[in-house]
Amino acid sequence: MTETRQEIRAHVGSNAGVHFNELVRESDFAPGQVQYHVRRLLEEDRLVREEFYGRTHYYPPAYDDRERAALALFRRETAREIVVHLLEHESAAPADVADALEIARSTLEYHVDRLVDHEIVTKRYDERNRVVLELTDPEATGRLLTTVTPTVPDRLVDRFTRLVDEVLAGTPDAQ
């Protein structure tokens, strides 16, 4: 394996779920070089490629489907904050999470739906028939959460969404 390929593989290994553009930005290689070596690593089964919500992510083969989905979701700042909140509070009503994170319920539901789809969060009804959010496997989720940090572009998308939520919350039509 070439030194370039080893470097790319090592970077993906320490940044599981990395996007292609981020991989290029953080390396000293041209996009074509990265693309060439990533393709070879995929052919050699030394990397795994997954598409989540319009983005391509790369992983070491050691991660299973659920872990790959979780890592992709944890790259989004808002999804990450929801998970952290649930780790700290064990379970919570959606309205409480939205209020604590200062996000619109629709934004919360967007992220929670994806977390539920990938069995990271569960929705259940309490004794008063109200929805409660809980982490499916808090220990495994906590371990995965420590392996990834949202990138600047991912944080900007979430912050823009919050800004739009705030603007819309102030309009008469939104109430």
**What pLDDT shows up at residue 53?**
80
What pLDDT is recorded for position 1? 78
pLDDT at residue 153 above 70? no
The residues, ordered by sequence, that sit 6+ positions from 88 with a Cβ below 8 Å of its Cβ are none
Q: Average pLDDT for residues 14-41, to the nearest whole number? A: 92
pLDDT score recorded for residue 175: 47
Other beta carbons within 10 Å of 87: 14
pLDDT of residue 48 exceeding 50, the answer is yes
Q: Which CATH number applies to 3-63?
A: 1.10.10.10
Can you give the residue ranges of every domain in the chain? 3-63, 69-174
Looking at 62-76, 78-92, 147-161, which range is the least confident one?
147-161
Mean pLDDT of 133-144: 93
Where is average pLDDT lowest: 15-29, 122-136, 141-155? 141-155
- The reply to whether domains 3-63 and 69-174 share a CATH topology is yes
Task: Give me the helices (H) in the chain, please.
Answer: 3-14, 20-25, 31-43, 65-74, 77-89, 94-101, 105-117, 138-145, 152-169
- CATH code linked to domain 69-174: 1.10.10.10
Q: What is the percent of the chain with per-residue pLDDT over 70, rounded to a whole number?
A: 85
Average pLDDT, the chain: 87
| Burial of residue 56 (number of CB atoms within 10 Å: 0-12, 13-18, 19+) | middle
